[in-house]
Structure 1
Amino acid sequence: MKIRSLLIIGFSATILALQSCNNSKNSEGKEISTNVAVSATDSRGKKITLPHEAMRVVVLYNALVDDVYMLLAGEKIVGIPQQIYEMEDTYRFLSKLDDRIKNKSIATPTFGGQSSNAESIVGLKPDLVLTFNTDQDNITQIENLGIPVFTFSSLNDEKILEELKNVGKLLGKEKRAEEVTGYVAEEVKKMRASQAASPKKIYYAWSKGRIMSTSGKGSLIDMAITLSGAQNACPVPVEAPNISAETMYKWNPDLIILWNSKLSDVYSLKELEALPAVKNKQVFAMSPSFPYDPHTVKFLLFAKQLRHWCMPEYSQEQLDQDVKKAFEVIYGKKGLI
């Protein structure tokens, strides 16, 4: 009997040991099953395969941090851009979702700007890094260190939804990704079914007072403007053209939209003071910018804000209700705004 008891104990210990091999801990010390491989294709068309769902994630761009919280996977984040703490509206909102953000305790493996520190990233022991596909030097360096990298492009609405679904697979949040993207896709369909008969022309100005820099046809901003029911005043099929005041008068937009710029950046320009949109006070600032980040599924809210400015029948009250509802769905929590 004694021998039999010892055999049972030994067998049980072996089973427990095997189970422990198939489990790991996330950034908060919670055990997660790791016995199922996951894979997804990123914006480069590259298939990223992990031996189990990602549990320690470093995110190198602000918009992608936002994506992870939308997927209700914020506890997996172990590294973020320094700008998360520096951008007031972003920091304030994400602090409601994660005390680590509020306490500024999540590591920032960056030099400042968009430069990342490979040594710091390695020290965080991530099993996945998220970044944009334009960050090629960092991507190559990180992958050469044996760390999987999933890239985003955020080229348009379809790519944004597709990339959120795919990263959801790697984070073990496939069902959650379907919930968010399903809601956004349905709202997009409704907006496209109710377009204006005579669309207004919108000129979009880049951030930090770069009024003479805009977004051309085929860009992400062009997509959002079109979705709103308006028309991009810039007819040039160039991602980010720089123009002259003479060109602005030629295009003669009905509205000028600013991103992270002040209204005075336009109204103080002598060369634009005779432009009808300026004379008619049709210059609007997307502020605070966080609720309308077009690099995420919030391109939907960017487009709805434009619709309100273009179409008086789409009231401020309706816009506020739509934004509140969208936040409840995409962040999975009520009372955030």
Structure 2
Amino acid sequence: MTIRKIQKIFAGVLTVSVLTASLFGGSALASETETVSETTTEAASEAGSEESTGTRTIVDHTGAEVVLPEKIERVVISSILPLPSVYCLFRGSADDIVGIHPSSMAAAENSYLINVFPEIANADTSFVENGEVNIEQLLALKPDVVFYSANNTDEREMYDNAGIPAVGFSTSMSDYDCVETYADWIQLLGDIYGEQATANEIIAEGRSVAEEIKSVTSTISDEDKPKVLILFNYADGVIKTSGSNFFGQYWIETAGGINVAADLSGTPEINMEQVYEWDPDIIFITNFSPYQPDDLYNNTIDGDDWSNVTAVKNQQVYKFPLGMYRWFPPASDTPLVLKWLATKIQPDLFKDMDMAQEIKDYYEKYYNVTLTDEDLQKIYNPVSAASGVK
């Protein structure tokens, strides 16, 4: 059942509920407590006031009340890089997006997102210069609202000063649990657009997958878990991994592995001596890094010798796929990421999981597209340009 069908059914149920209340609710409503009556009256008054001014108020992930226009037709998504894909999943369109971050565009142009939502290519990226928002150029886009990373307090202050409604989306409020962070974003979009049925369906899918994977991996002993290293951002001689307090920890632990960088926090810089000490069994390279597994297998990266690392010797180096967005942070393909990682980290336990079919079914259900085997190969083998690294 598609999201849109769910919405229609939800609307029908709501209509029936209203009719039932009008037919049978006379005496029952009269017996409601005074407190409830006062609360309802107050809420109705506030709703009426907002309706009369053409606005409505939501609470974002910073805890701030944000007054939004009743109709949102021009959206800028700034520092929350994966959100364009989640927005497209939720809204079923990118028509309202007038601006996104250049890094988001680099991912979009080299992913499947632009095939399903080609209008994303029309979004402006020039309002971000050297990684910073140029407020004058952003204002020129005439946004009704800006979606940004809730952790970026300076950015929020800039929007407040400019009088632009800004909604903060948090990456950390669920302790870097990727599925719950994804759920947080979907829930907030549901609040913004008043589409809770859509939000609930998407959230339920992610949580169901997490429970499915955890039911298997939670029983694995540490002795049967491989040591895993994530090369989060590796370019120009700098190696950054994913330690605790970041998404890699959740992915690895939930999929049945041990994060070799768990004693470090965030996205710390490491060197080859540290890699040799850890000697990981499996290495994953994100799409924030331009390197491919062959670069490690062929030992072609200047200054770094990977030839004696166990994961390289055993050909256990994998590039994260690139579907609707880079498969590392929470994004619209998050449930698929967890399944894919489980098949790589614990292949024997998930040997019956057909990832090709899983991806095809998910894309059919949520994006209404039928993937070919050629499409799958592109998702599995993302180009280096998707990193956005020049």
What TM-score does the superposition give when structure 1 sets the normalisation length? 0.78
Structure 1 residues 174, 278: closer, same or farther in 2, change over 3 A? same
The residue identity in structure 2 corresponding to 1:224 is W
Instruction: Check the 8 A contact 2:234/2:240 in 1, yes or no.
Output: no
1:222 Cα deviation after fit: 0.8
SS in 2 for 1:75: coil
1:318 lines up with 2:377 in the alignment? no
1:276 lines up with 2:303 in the alignment? no
Give 1:253-332 correspondences, 5 Å limit. 253-260=280-287, 261-267=291-297, 268=299, 271-288=305-322, 290=325, 292-313=327-348, 314-315=350-351, 318-331=354-367
SS in 1 for 2:354: helix
Instruction: Check the 8 A contact 1:201/1:230 in 2, yes or no.
Output: yes
For 2:251, the equivalent position in structure 1 comes to 224
Instruction: Check the 8 A contact 1:211/1:266 in 2, yes or no.
Output: no
Instruction: Check the 8 A contact 2:94/2:119 in 1, yes or no.
Output: no
* Equivalent position to 1:166, from 181, 188, 194: 188
1:306 Cα deviation after fit: 1.7
Render the CA deviation track for 1:203-233: whole Å, top value 9, x for unaligned.
0012343673211123111111122122212
* Equivalent position to 1:59, from 66, 77, 83: 77
Instruction: Check the 8 A contact 1:308/1:316 in 2, yes or no.
Output: no
Structure 1 residues 224, 92: closer, same or farther in 2, change over 3 A? closer
1:318 Cα deviation after fit: 0.8
Structure 1 residues 144, 187: closer, same or farther in 2, change over 3 A? same
Answer 1 or 2: higher relative contact order, Cα 8 Å, separation at least 6.
Answer: 2
Render the CA deviation track for 1:45-69: whole Å, top value 9, x for unaligned.
2232324253321111441111110
For 2:206, the equivalent position in structure 1 comes to 184
1:258 Cα deviation after fit: 0.7
Structure 1 residues 228, 317: closer, same or farther in 2, change over 3 A? closer
How far apart, in 1, do the equivalents of 2:279 and 2:315 lie? 14
Instruction: Check the 8 A contact 1:220/1:294 in 2, yes or no.
Output: yes
Structure 1 residues 277, 98: closer, same or farther in 2, change over 3 A? closer
* Equivalent position to 2:58, from 14, 32, 40: 40
For 2:230, the equivalent position in structure 1 comes to 204
How many equivalent residue pairs? 301
For 2:43, the equivalent position in structure 1 comes to none
SS in 2 for 1:184: helix
Give 1:64-143 correspondences, 5 Å limit. 64-72=83-91, 73-87=93-107, 90-101=109-120, 104-143=121-160
1:317 Cα deviation after fit: 6.5
How far apart, in 1, do the equivalents of 2:100 and 2:52 lie? 24
1:85 Cα deviation after fit: 4.3
The residue identity in structure 2 corresponding to 1:165 is Q
Instruction: Check the 8 A contact 1:224/1:300 in 2, yes or no.
Output: no
Structure 1 residues 175, 51: closer, same or farther in 2, change over 3 A? same
Instruction: Check the 8 A contact 1:224/1:294 in 2, yes or no.
Output: no
The residue identity in structure 2 corresponding to 1:199 is K
For 2:216, the equivalent position in structure 1 comes to 194
For 1:235, the equivalent position in structure 2 comes to 262
Instruction: Check the 8 A contact 2:181/2:330 in 1, yes or no.
Output: no
1:114 Cα deviation after fit: 3.1
Structure 1 residues 107, 246: closer, same or farther in 2, change over 3 A? closer
1:294 Cα deviation after fit: 2.2
1:316 Cα deviation after fit: 8.6
How far apart, in 2, do the equivalents of 1:180 and 1:34 lie? 32
1:144 Cα deviation after fit: 1.0
The residue identity in structure 2 corresponding to 1:301 is L
Structure 1: gaps (5+ residues):
1-32
For 1:248, the equivalent position in structure 2 comes to 275
How far apart, in 2, do the equivalents of 1:148 and 1:116 lie? 15
How far apart, in 2, do the equivalents of 1:58 and 1:93 lie? 21
How far apart, in 2, do the equivalents of 1:186 and 1:243 lie? 35
Structure 2: gaps (5+ residues):
1-50, 376-390
1:127 Cα deviation after fit: 1.8
1:49 lines up with 2:67 in the alignment? yes
What TM-score does the superposition give when structure 2 sets the normalisation length? 0.69
Instruction: Check the 8 A contact 2:226/2:281 in 1, yes or no.
Output: yes
Instruction: Check the 8 A contact 2:229/2:283 in 1, yes or no.
Output: yes
SS in 2 for 1:107: coil
Q: Which moved more, 1:117-126 or 1:181-190?
A: 117-126
Instruction: Check the 8 A contact 2:150/2:171 in 1, yes or no.
Output: no
The residue identity in structure 2 corresponding to 1:184 is G
SS in 2 for 1:305: helix
Percent identity over the alignment is 23
CA RMSD of aligned residues (A): 2.8
SS in 1 for 2:159: helix
Structure 1 residues 46, 329: closer, same or farther in 2, change over 3 A? farther
How far apart, in 1, do the equivalents of 2:269 and 2:327 lie? 24
Instruction: Check the 8 A contact 1:200/1:230 in 2, yes or no.
Output: yes
Structure 1 residues 242, 207: closer, same or farther in 2, change over 3 A? closer
